[in-house]
Structure 1
Amino acid sequence: MKRIVTGILAHVDAGKTTLSEALLYKTGQLRKPGRVDHGDAFLDTNTMERARGITIFTEPAIIHTNDTTITLLDTPGHVDFSAETERTIRALDYAVFVISATDGIQGHTETLWRLLTRYNVPTILFVNKMDAPGANATTILNQLQHRFHDACIDFTNPALADTMESIAMQSEQAMDEYLDTGTVNTATIRNMIERRELFPCFFGSALKMEGIDEFIHGFATYTQEPQYADEFGARIYKISHDAQGNRLTWLKVTGGELHAKTMLNGGSGELAWNEKADQIRVYSGAKYSTVGSVPAGTVCAVTGLTRTFPGEGLGFEQSAENPILQPVLTYTLLPGGNDTHKCLLALRELEDEDPLLHVVWHARLQEIHLQLMGAVQLEIIQQMMHDRFGLDVEFGPGAILYKETITEPVEGVGHYEPLRHYAEAHVLLEPLPAGSGMQYATDCSEDILDRNWQRLILSHFQEREHLGVLTGSPITDIRLTLLTGRAHLKHTEGGDFRQATYRAIRQGLMEARAGVPDETGAFDVAQRFAGDGDDHDIETADIDSIGSADADSIDNIGETPQCRIQGMGNCRLLEPWYRFRLEVPQDMLGRAMSDIQRMSGEFDPPQNDADGEYAVLNGTAPVSEMRDYAMDVNAYTHGRGHLGCTFAGYRPCHDAETIIKQANYNPESDLDHTTDSVLCAHGAGYPVKWYKVPEFMHLDYAWDGMSSPDQRS
């Protein structure tokens, strides 16, 4: 028996869960197929899924055919839960991609295709709803070949000569076979599919059970089990909790064998962990069996692991890169009469399950903020808070989740030396390409700072969300590198380096905002401040053009915490952007193009659809401008237009000055993310303003101007 792990992916309402039910019924796993609209689908095990008629969580089912055991993972189709789908994709051997014959390729459909391409997952397509009026196999196949890949081939009858010729044209080996024998053998077709050189397409209606037998036969014929290593490896794709509150780590074994009671380990440095896999469960729907071991190619849930996370690799497997999809909205929790701490603990458990739900506690505001994908996800969280934790909460209006980065490298210095404490850390902040997220490194000799202190500082890099100094938004696309540091044999404690590290990062961001230190490494305050010692707001983006001031004025301003720089300097405010595809009737194209330009968007030259009735605009625009535009399109086209949006990453904010002014954020007043250092004199600690730190620090600047740790080494 060959073992295949496959996932079913689709845009919402394409019939993905209906196809899953049809496959389970046709292979004898169900006596009667369930229906999403009836609330009795086998794989929609959660009460919210049954009530809403949508898939929210990825659930497995086991299917047996004559010679194949298929682990089928039914993934969410709604864009708000696409992060769950992205994590599941990494665990798949093959993907079944469901396309609606009536709707064709939609915005989220293209996002899913890009994810399958990124993770190199062999893909077989099923065009559903062929029983609907107007459904045409030739039309949809042409669309798939034009928008996805010209190797999308109709496999309804692969024995036909014209189909075999189309298959042969996809590789030289296949063409040689075809010219020699008039056909391409099955083994070659399997290899082409596995290498993503060929994408078989099947047509039918899952609801009417049409084309299902042909699809099952084709899937079993043209798939092959991956070759697994003898060494143990596994990929974690999901975290959940069962009805008893047990934490479940869902994983696919990719090498060797996993035994119950085995000690597993992961993480690194201070974040390293070593825990026992207490129980191994193999699920099919809501039911499971407990087993003593599972071989490679098996999907299972493991209890006893408390520090795992989706995307983590075990054994020889490497942890996943940053996901393509990221939250773009932020909401404030309104706890009502509930205890705020209890709400925070509940949300932390939900955050553990969903990496794209970010829960942030703002101590200064005494508020809980949630960062997530969209309004539907927020409704689900609200329902889960009620059902699982008995907490009835509400949320404030949603806002755009901005982020901040830098454009030039800068060395930040943090010094923490109250009485009987001591730590100094120098951190290099370097800009990374867009979409890189945060990276962490050390370039400090162990002769200067012991390894245990360096490991501690690296863990402090990662343990919190560091905020920028423009609006107080999270920083991203920055590498933090420890350059040097100093500890005291007697007085340094672990918490001292936490304080020094945090302050070094913030001090570096403040220097980036004000400008870059001169060639001697000194921060020339006189070139950046002017005034008479009172509170000052210097409203200019060109800090260096302010000019000099007398020394007394500078010293006085140094004691004024409200003095701040209003320009961006080498800091940048980022905002999320959408990639969109807008279809409107030809006579409304001018209105659409004008709207996109008004929203500060960009678009390619307009295209016409196959019939010439509609115009198509492809482009990008800020989420802040386009998030409600779908309703406008529906209104001015009288329901004939269609807008599809997918996340296109973070880019420089198109109206940064306005957003910064509205935020009115003073980084020097944010005591939870202080920009200043603490030194000691005459037996007492005293604060030193961020721009005066270079005058008082004990270590010299360590950055030599090279652009990366690799170059410096």
Structure 2
Amino acid sequence: MSTLNLGILAHVDAGKTSLTERLLFAAGVIDEVGRVDDGSTQTDSLALERQRGITIKSAVVSFVLDDVTVNLIDTPGHPDFIAEVERVLCALDGAVLVISAVEGVQAQTRVLMRTLQRLRIPTLIFVNKIDRDGARYEGVLKDIAAKLTPSIIAMGSADDLGTRSGRFTAYGSTDPVFTAGLVELLADHDDAFLAAYVADESAVSYSHLRRELAAQTSRCVVHPVYFGSAITGAGMDPLISGLTELLPASDGGADGPASGTVFKVERGPAGEKIAYVRMFAGTLRTRDRLHFGDDRKGKVTRISVFEHGAATSRSSVAAGQIAKLWGLAEVRIGDDVGSSSAASDPTSKATSEPTPEATETAVGRRSANGGGYFSPPTLESVVSASRPADKGVLHAALTELAEQDPLINLRQDDIRQEIHVSLYGEVQKEVIQATLAGDYGVDVTFRETTTICIERPVGTGAAAEFMGQETNPFRATVGLRVEPAPVGTGVEFRLGIELGSLPFSFLRAVEETVRETLLQGIHGWQVTDCTVTITHSGYTPPPPYGWSKASSSAGDFRRLTPLVLMSALQQAGTQVFEPMHHFRLEFPADALGSILPNLARMRAAPHSPSTRGSASVLEGEIPAAQVHELQQRLPALTRGEGVLECAFDRYEPVRGPVPARPRTDHNPLNRKEYLQNIGR
């Protein structure tokens, strides 16, 4: 039986979780459709999710449709939890992008669709809530074509929109307008199909059209659109047929070397790590020893495979499946895993590294945007334990949460005894606060949220420190050159010395320290989009019979590198950039006069407004630091009728005074202070 690993993605409140419930009901996994408002859904299992009526953590459920095992992953829609969506993408064979028939394409919808297209994940579009008052058909289709992609085809007609009797009727071979539109769409993306159709129209049957539609959907060049209602069940049968017919199921190779990707990590009741793994090739068995990440190892002690609604204990997991693995204490999200030995089965095939073919999809998707698909958090706040005695527990709890969410960055300020947490928004802050109280028994307070800026070099700088110089107390020679790099490339470390002239452990110490030091630039912000080249090196080798106190050590290179790097960076100079969000604001037309002055005060750059009847729409850019204030002031400015959508757009140079962030390291910008703190 083939397997389809399916993601359900949407802007918040479009109805993802309700659609998941309806699909489970249609497959016979549940006897009654749960409701988000009642807190009775299968995938929103956290108390916070049931309380708030939103998805916070991704959840996996499994069911069978027409001889295809579907592993369905319900993801959060709220932008504060976009990191949960990011880590799921490498596990998917296909996706359903859910759009509300009332609200249409929203800010998060655009972000998600761009990402799905960039990663070439086959995607069906489901327009939900046709039973809601204000539901649209033609208007939403135009919205999708204009804002998401013109390569769409409506798979049926919708009638009685805005009523409980709203329905969706699938098109078939007897609908000439549909078949003509399908031919035109498919011909636009395949010259061979166009040539065959031009040569002999009668030779291209309706079944041929459907096969070509499936092929082009699998190649992510076209996107079929379905309408329906997850609440009433309208349109479910056509959508289910589309899932099995148009999205590519995975058969995998169960006999090859085992390889997979970890897309989620959680903690069990006893605090043990549980890794969610999508298998791309081979078979993993209990007691198999795995290699994962940067040469970490572990032995699988237990396996649960998702099938027929829930995770079921099994002795193995094969290609195409999703499983929960126990026993991998050092595993992290994003790790590629591969079987290194199978202690329980000496006849099983094994390898020390995953094969390139097996991990191509996952690795390719992860590297499509420098290791991330969405923007990083742009906000941060200091979190403190309400009771001083809970400081240690708080640090351990936050470390554990950051382990489960790689985009929760923690900055420990030992000088001020503070912990900084990076955030996507205020809702995420509230959820972290509630999680710490409910799961760890730690009451915390947050300071006011501040914006995370970045630094980029504006020129080239170089510096070097040589062994034997009076000013260099370390047994190491390090020379570094810092240069600007294209936006979005991150930090690249290059060799400007002869390969082999420096022991690998020393070279690795330099590179790791370069990346760590660049977390705090001249103004205290993380430095990115630069190339750092090691230009000079030197060390004292150990005597023939082993290491001595006069020998160089990796520690010498780790201590010296920050001084050299920051000296080169000061010579290059940096510019501070702040995050900007694109906003779309819908409001009563007569409120424009009060909105514009407020936007100007918040340093927003609005475009020309458009008016539709009594409503106006205004789009533009606003600093991330001002988004929360705009959200708070909007109800008063628009009599409670304003609707705001915001999403990260880009970084812009800071205008006016340059903001600085207090340092949390030993400050290599001040040589005397640094050496006093570091010592030899």
TM over 0.5: yes
What is the SS of the residue equivalent to 2:487? coil
Instruction: Give the Cα–Cα distance (whole angstroms) in 2 for the partners of residues 600 and 50 of structure 1.
Output: 38
2:512 aligns with 459
1:492 aligns with 552
Question: In the alignment, which of 326, 336, 351 is matched to residue 303 of structure 1?
Answer: 326
1:147 aligns with 147
**Aligned: 1:312 with 2:335:** yes
Kept in 1, the 8 Å contact 2:478–2:534? The answer is yes
Kept in 1, the 8 Å contact 2:579–2:651? The answer is yes
Question: In the alignment, which of 249, 269, 274 is matched to residue 243 of structure 1?
Answer: 269
Question: In the alignment, which of 417, 422, 438 is matched to residue 475 of structure 2?
Answer: 422
2:564 aligns with 504
- Deviation sequence 1:53-92 (CA, Å, 0-9, x none): 2111111001112221100000011111011112212211
**Deviates further, 357-366 or 163-172:** 163-172
Instruction: Give the Cα–Cα distance (whole angstroms) in 2 for the partners of residues 164 and 612 of structure 1.
Output: 36
* TM superposition shift of 1:287: 5.0
* TM superposition shift of 1:165: 1.7
Kept in 2, the 8 Å contact 1:676–1:687? The answer is no
* TM superposition shift of 1:671: 6.2
**Deviates further, 215-224 or 377-386:** 215-224
**Aligned: 1:436 with 2:496:** no
Q: What is the one-letter code of the residue matched to 1:409?
A: T
Describe the shift of the 1:140–1:621 C-alpha distance in structure 2 as closer, same or farther (beyond 3 A): same
Structure 1: give runs of 5+ residues left out of the alignment. 513-569, 680-684, 689-713
2:528 aligns with 476
Instruction: Give the Cα–Cα distance (whole angstroms) in 2 for the partners of residues 182 and 78 of structure 1.
Output: 43
Instruction: Give the Cα–Cα distance (whole angstroms) in 1 for the partners of residues 604 and 472 of structure 2.
Output: 55
What is the SS of the residue equivalent to 1:628? helix
Instruction: Give the Cα–Cα distance (whole angstroms) in 1 for the partners of residues 568 and 292 of structure 2.
Output: 32
Q: What is the one-letter code of the residue matched to 1:411?
A: A
- Deviation sequence 1:552-601 (CA, Å, 0-9, x none): xxxxxxxxxxxxxxxxxx21112111022223444555655555454444
Kept in 2, the 8 Å contact 1:239–1:248? The answer is yes
1:628 aligns with 629
* TM superposition shift of 1:277: 3.3
Question: In the alignment, which of 651, 669, 673 is matched to residue 675 of structure 1?
Answer: 669
1:46 aligns with 46
Describe the shift of the 1:507–1:227 C-alpha distance in structure 2 as closer, same or farther (beyond 3 A): farther
Describe the shift of the 1:626–1:208 C-alpha distance in structure 2 as closer, same or farther (beyond 3 A): same
* TM superposition shift of 1:13: 1.2
Instruction: Give the Cα–Cα distance (whole angstroms) in 1 for the partners of residues 218 and 630 of structure 2.
Output: 40
Describe the shift of the 1:289–1:415 C-alpha distance in structure 2 as closer, same or farther (beyond 3 A): farther
Instruction: Give the Cα–Cα distance (whole angstroms) in 2 for the partners of residues 43 and 90 of structure 1.
Output: 20
2:579 aligns with 576
Kept in 1, the 8 Å contact 2:186–2:212? The answer is no
Aligned alpha-carbon RMSD (Å): 2.9
Instruction: Give the Cα–Cα distance (whole angstroms) in 2 for the partners of residues 242 and 130 of structure 1.
Output: 40
Q: Identity, % of aligned pairs?
A: 28
Kept in 1, the 8 Å contact 2:57–2:84? The answer is yes
Question: In the alignment, which of 141, 164, 171 is matched to residue 158 of structure 1?
Answer: 171
**Aligned: 1:263 with 2:283:** no
Instruction: Give the Cα–Cα distance (whole angstroms) in 2 for the partners of residues 332 and 631 of structure 1.
Output: 21
What is the SS of the residue equivalent to 2:532? strand
Kept in 1, the 8 Å contact 2:284–2:316? The answer is yes
Kept in 1, the 8 Å contact 2:286–2:300? The answer is yes
What is the SS of the residue equivalent to 2:659? helix
* TM superposition shift of 1:658: 5.0
1:97 aligns with 97
**Normalised by the size of structure 2, how large is the TM-score?**
0.84
1:368 aligns with 419
Instruction: Give the Cα–Cα distance (whole angstroms) in 2 for the partners of residues 147 and 170 of structure 1.
Output: 18
* TM superposition shift of 1:644: 0.9
Describe the shift of the 1:131–1:475 C-alpha distance in structure 2 as closer, same or farther (beyond 3 A): same
- Deviation sequence 1:477-510 (CA, Å, 0-9, x none): 2333333222222332222211112222222223
2:653 aligns with 652
Describe the shift of the 1:286–1:571 C-alpha distance in structure 2 as closer, same or farther (beyond 3 A): farther
Instruction: Give the Cα–Cα distance (whole angstroms) in 2 for the partners of residues 388 and 221 of structure 1.
Output: 43
What is the SS of the residue equivalent to 2:507? helix
* TM superposition shift of 1:420: 8.6
- Deviation sequence 1:8-67 (CA, Å, 0-9, x none): 111111111111011101110001221111112111122221222211111100111222
Kept in 1, the 8 Å contact 2:399–2:410? The answer is yes
Instruction: Give the Cα–Cα distance (whole angstroms) in 2 for the partners of residues 120 and 299 of structure 1.
Output: 20
Instruction: Give the Cα–Cα distance (whole angstroms) in 2 for the partners of residues 462 and 22 of structure 1.
Output: 47
**Deviates further, 433-442 or 353-362:** 433-442
Kept in 2, the 8 Å contact 1:423–1:492? The answer is yes
* TM superposition shift of 1:605: 4.7
* TM superposition shift of 1:345: 1.6
- Deviation sequence 1:91-140 (CA, Å, 0-9, x none): 11111111111221111121111221221111111111111122122222
Describe the shift of the 1:284–1:226 C-alpha distance in structure 2 as closer, same or farther (beyond 3 A): closer
Kept in 1, the 8 Å contact 2:22–2:231? The answer is yes
1:244-643 alignment, distance < 5 Å: 244-267=270-293, 271-283=294-306, 288-314=311-337, 315=354, 316=356, 317=359, 318=363, 320=367, 321-323=370-372, 324-337=374-387, 338-413=389-464, 421-463=474-516, 466-470=519-523, 472-489=524-541, 490-512=550-572, 570-589=573-592, 592=595, 595-607=598-610, 611=612, 613-643=614-644
Kept in 1, the 8 Å contact 2:451–2:625? The answer is yes
Kept in 2, the 8 Å contact 1:442–1:454? The answer is no
Kept in 1, the 8 Å contact 2:522–2:669? The answer is no
Q: What is the one-letter code of the residue matched to 1:28?
A: G
Structure 2: give runs of 5+ residues left out of the alignment. 157-169, 338-353, 542-549
Q: What is the one-letter code of the residue matched to 1:166?
A: G
Instruction: Give the Cα–Cα distance (whole angstroms) in 1 for the partners of residues 331 and 516 of structure 2.
Output: 15
**Aligned: 1:210 with 2:234:** yes
1:195 aligns with 219
**Deviates further, 77-86 or 181-190:** 181-190
Instruction: Give the Cα–Cα distance (whole angstroms) in 1 for the partners of residues 518 and 500 of structure 2.
Output: 30
Kept in 1, the 8 Å contact 2:262–2:335? The answer is yes
* TM superposition shift of 1:261: 2.9
Kept in 2, the 8 Å contact 1:29–1:63? The answer is yes
Instruction: Give the Cα–Cα distance (whole angstroms) in 2 for the partners of residues 69 and 206 of structure 1.
Output: 21
What is the SS of the residue equivalent to 1:672? coil
Q: What is the one-letter code of the residue matched to 1:330?
A: E
Describe the shift of the 1:273–1:589 C-alpha distance in structure 2 as closer, same or farther (beyond 3 A): same
1:16-55 alignment, distance < 5 Å: 16-55=16-55
Instruction: Give the Cα–Cα distance (whole angstroms) in 2 for the partners of residues 348 and 284 of structure 1.
Output: 32
* TM superposition shift of 1:378: 1.2
Describe the shift of the 1:276–1:429 C-alpha distance in structure 2 as closer, same or farther (beyond 3 A): farther
Q: What is the one-letter code of the residue matched to 2:520?
A: L
Kept in 2, the 8 Å contact 1:506–1:673? The answer is no
1:709 aligns with none
What is the SS of the residue equivalent to 2:406? coil
Describe the shift of the 1:177–1:292 C-alpha distance in structure 2 as closer, same or farther (beyond 3 A): farther
Instruction: Give the Cα–Cα distance (whole angstroms) in 2 for the partners of residues 447 and 210 of structure 1.
Output: 67
What is the SS of the residue equivalent to 1:574? strand
* TM superposition shift of 1:225: 2.0
Instruction: Give the Cα–Cα distance (whole angstroms) in 2 for the partners of residues 258 and 602 of structure 1.
Output: 54
Instruction: Give the Cα–Cα distance (whole angstroms) in 1 for the partners of residues 113 and 465 of structure 2.
Output: 45
Instruction: Give the Cα–Cα distance (whole angstroms) in 1 for the partners of residues 410 and 599 of structure 2.
Output: 33
Kept in 1, the 8 Å contact 2:63–2:309? The answer is no
Kept in 2, the 8 Å contact 1:45–1:286? The answer is no
Kept in 2, the 8 Å contact 1:329–1:400? The answer is yes
Instruction: Give the Cα–Cα distance (whole angstroms) in 2 for the partners of residues 39 and 112 of structure 1.
Output: 26
Instruction: Give the Cα–Cα distance (whole angstroms) in 2 for the partners of residues 419 and 484 of structure 1.
Output: 14
What is the SS of the residue equivalent to 1:171? helix
